[in-house]
Amino acid sequence: MTETGHTAAKHESLLIPLLLLVGGASLYGSIFATNQFVSNAGVPPMAYTFWQSFVMSIILLVLAAITGNIPPGSFRHIRHYAITSSLGIVIPVIVLAIVAAKLQAGVVTLLITLTPGITYIYAMVLRVERFRWLGIGGVLLGLLGVALIVVPDGSLPGSEDAIWVIFLLIVPFCFASNNIYVAIVKPPQTTTIMLATGLVIGAATISFLVMMIGEGFYPAWNAPMQGILGILWAGFVGAIGFYCMFEIIRRTGPVFFAQYNYVIVITGILWSLVLLDEALSNWIWIAFAVMLGGLLLANEAARRGLREAANRSLQSKAP
């Protein structure tokens, strides 16, 4: 294959992941404003987690049945579903639902920018990715952004909000852990739809048990219309988001997928400004710029990693 052919193949191989990344993340960016709508409607956090997962399960089960991709039920597969659903949905959604009434949606969105940096650190420790100064720079800028949100007086509306920001850090750590787990642990004979469907069914099962133990059964149909619509929308964008996650990671790996959060942050801020008319402090906007800079560095580190992996693959196939 000529150099031009290699370049064309590389661009073609990244086209679908890029479309999935931009489209899926743009929709998922609305989830933070949606969380606030549902919280304001009085839907308890555990119940919101369950009903959102239930809607996702219905959507992906129908898709799996139509395409003949019902998820396998072996112990190895069920273990994978349980771990990915806990890290990717149950724990993060419960945390996000709790802080929705405590923090501005724009601030919540910003904290998700830490996911690529944490993913890179995990990948480097596990030797999925090699050491890169660009990746480390992205992590440091992300941490600086958090400091700009938490430390200065007046950056957050309330003095106690800094505690909720620290609590919210659970979410990017869970997302990053899930990215790496999905990339490293791959159950046999499973498609993207199977993995996504198994994940959301696992999340619905776990969150149902948590809801029943903690709050008791909550009938979603008795919620205000704002809450019902929020649950349906969260389930819809979540189903799309998790399908995109598995497909992007399958095609490109966890570091490239971590850029998903780059689009989520930008669109999440826009969704919050449009739907909630939030007024963010100057410190938050400065943090936004710094954390986007960190994402750009993480993006470049991921791009170089993909290029090196592609070159190694070509060299191994060369006669």
Q: Which residues neighbour 250 within 8 Å (Cβ) at sequence distance 6 or greater?
A: 192
Question: In tens digits, what is the pLDDT along the chain, a chain of 319 residues?
Answer: 443 344 344 444 667 887 888 888 888 888 888 888 898 898 998 899 999 999 999 999 999 999 898 999 888 899 999 999 999 888 988 898 888 878 877 778 777 777 777 877 787 777 766 677 777 777 777 778 777 766 666 556 656 677 888 898 899 899 888 888 887 887 888 888 898 899 899 999 999 999 999 889 999 999 999 999 999 999 999 888 878 877 887 777 666 666 677 677 778 878 877 777 766 677 777 877 877 777 677 667 666 665 665 565 555 555 5
Answering whether pTM is above 0.85, one says no
pLDDT of 259 reads 67
In the chain, what is the straight-line distance between the N-terminal and C-terminal CA atoms, in Å?
Answer: 12
In order, the DSSP letters of 48-100 are HHHHHHHHHHHHHHHHHHHHT-PPP-SHHHHHHHHHHHIIIIIHHHHHHHHHT
CA 120, CA 133: separation in Å to the nearest integer? 11
- Angle between helix 114-125 and helix 170-184 axes, rounded to 10 deg: 50
User: Phi-psi bin for 160: left (phi > 0), alpha (psi -120 to 50), beta?
Assistant: alpha
pLDDT of 57 reads 94
pLDDT of 286 reads 80
Determine how many CB atoms are found less than 10 A away from the CB of residue 249: 24
pLDDT of 271 reads 83
pLDDT of 231 reads 94
